[in-house]
Amino acid sequence: MAQLSVEEVGRYGRQLILPEWGRRGQESVKGNSVLIVGVGGLGCPCALYLAAAGIGRLGLLDYDRVELSNLHRQVLHCENRVGVAKSESGRDAVKGLNSHISVTTHTVLLDSSNALSILSQYDIIVDATDNVATRYLLNDGCVLLGKPLVSGSALRFEGQLTVYGWRGGPCYRCLFPSPPPPASVTNCSEGGVLGVVPGVIGSLQALEALKIASGMEPAPPV
């Protein structure tokens, strides 16, 4: 298990005093890696809180570039980063917050040719996309590799969060065997979203990923 430096003990002190967390939980988090797929409305707050909490290695995957219309909800990015790859903009932001963590960028489009090779490099996968096809691809890759998948989505004024494939739990395809017709799916660019909503869901995704990384139990299904 990864050891904490004196500086890290001071930095994470408010977490270390939690009896459910403690030094063992913090060291476990430091020894874990998380891949965030999608550095947008969900992925930005998730990345911030994982970095702030001291995750050992963070992967940021996104092939898109920052646009002005992103900034009301994608809080890692700022005006002077418009046009920059989201994965690189996100890396710079989280490294500025916590220089102790390692950040790897994947500025690629995730597809069946690269999914397994990328997912296999991480302990926990966070689905922060707004794309149904990618959601099924991530699910299938996580099932094959035995990785937990923390999945979130947000639209208009509401969102949802689920942890799949953790300690024998069901996967996404177990609940939704077949993708819905493309015409029935609405994303944020079509249906809109209030910026704070993905902020809430993305933060909760970070919470569930940290529970897994620390050895705590994720939230029970409702």
pLDDT single digits (tens) 101-155? 999 999 999 999 999 999 999 999 999 998 888 999 999 999 999 999 999 998 8
Burial (CB < 10 A; 0-12, 13-18, 19+), residue 134, is: middle
Question: Is this structure's pTM higher than 0.85?
Answer: yes
Q: What total of structural domains would you count in the chain? A: 1
Residue 130 placed within a domain: yes
Domain membership of residue 59 as a residue range: 21-174+189-214
The per-residue pLDDT for 185 is 65
Residue 1 placed within a domain: no
The per-residue pLDDT for 186 is 65
- Beta-bridged to residue 34, according to DSSP, are 58, 124
Low-confidence ranges of the chain (pLDDT < 70): 1, 182-190, 217-222
Residue 181 placed within a domain: no
d(CA 31, CA 214): 9
Residue 156 placed within a domain: yes
Residue 7 placed within a domain: no
The per-residue pLDDT for 222 is 53
The per-residue pLDDT for 210 is 98
Q: Which residues are CB-neighbours of 209 under 8 A, at least 6 positions away?
A: 34, 46, 50, 55, 124, 126, 150
Residue 80 placed within a domain: yes
CATH number at residue 75: 3.40.50.720
User: Is residue 61 within 8 Å of residue 88, measured between CB atoms?
Assistant: no
Residue 126 placed within a domain: yes
pLDDT in tens, 119-133: 999 999 999 998 888
The per-residue pLDDT for 2 is 80
d(CA 164, CA 134): 15
The per-residue pLDDT for 187 is 67
